[in-house]
Amino acid sequence: MYATQMGHLSYGHALYKPVSTGIMHPGSAGFLDENGNWTSVFDITDKASLSKAGLETPSKNDLEYLENGTTITFVDPWTSDGLTQVSIDASLEIPVPNAPVTLGGSIKYESKKDFGAVLVVTNPVENTKFKNIGDLRKWVQQSWSKINNQSYAHSLHKNGLIIVHETYSTSEVSITAKMGTSSSGSISMDIELAKVVDGKGNVEWKIAKSSAACAHYRAKVGCEVTMCVDTTN
C-alpha cells in the first residue's frame, strides 16, 4: 500500500521499512515479504556472494558499474498520492536538540482515499545507480535454474526476486502513515513538524508528533538508510 501510494513521486519503490545501504544497494538481490521486510540472497557485484550461490558474474555488457552518487535536496515533506494539506498552525514551539533555529508548526492533512503517509528525510539525499543495467533480465533467466536450487527458492516464488539497480538514501528517515477504518474510506492526519534552519539557511523537517503511527530510521556509522529503490524483477 505505502509503495503504491508513494509511486507518484517517481523515485522508484518506496520502502515502508527503510534498510541500511550496507544491506541494500545497487547490486543487492533479494525479496520483500508481505510485511515490507527485505531479505538479501546474493549481490551481483560481489564475486564471493555469487560463487557461494554457484552463479556466474554478469558480463560488462550486462552491467556497467556504479556512477558516482549525485545528491538531491528536498525542501518539503513527501506525501502519498491524494493526501492534501488543509490547515497549518504555525504558533507552536517544538524543541529539537542541537538545532540552531527551529520553527514549529502543526499541519493537518486529509485524503479522500483510505490511506495517507508523510515521509520526512534529512538532506542531502544521495542517488546511486548503475550506468547501464544492460540485459540483466536475460542474466537472471540464464541463472534461474541455479537460483531455483537455493534454500530461499520458495520465498522467491512467493515474493519474487528483486535486483536493486538504483537507490535513494540519506542519514535519517521518518515515516508516518495511517489506514482508514471508517466506511467513508477517507482519513485525516494531524502532524507536528519542526522546520529546522541552520546558519547557512538550509532547511530540514523533523516529525515531532503525529496522530498516526510513526517510525524513525537513523543510519549506522559508515552507512546511510535506503528509502527508495528502482529494481529489476
CA distance 216 to 172: 7
Q: Is beta strand 64-66 parallel, antiparallel or unpaired with respect to 125-132?
A: antiparallel
Q: How many CB atoms lie within 10 A of CB 45?
A: 18
Query: How far is C-alpha 27 from the geometric centre of its chain's CA atoms?
Result: 16
Stronger pLDDT, 231 or 149, i.e. the higher one: 149
153 sits in which H/E element = helix 153-159
CB 44 within 8 A of CB 56: no
> Of 81-85, 118-122, 133-137, which gets the smallest average pLDDT?
133-137
Residue-wise pLDDT for 43-61, tens only, equals: 998 889 999 888 988 876 6
Average pLDDT score over the chain: 83
Contact call for residues 180 and 5 (beta carbons, < 8 A): no
pTM: 0.85
Instruction: Give the DSSP H or E segment for 142.
Output: helix 136-147
In the chain, % of residues over pLDDT 90: 30
- Lowest pLDDT segment from 15-19, 105-109, 111-115, 158-162: 105-109
185: confidence class by pLDDT, cuts 50, 70, 90: low
Confidence of residue 70 (pLDDT cuts 50, 70, 90): confident
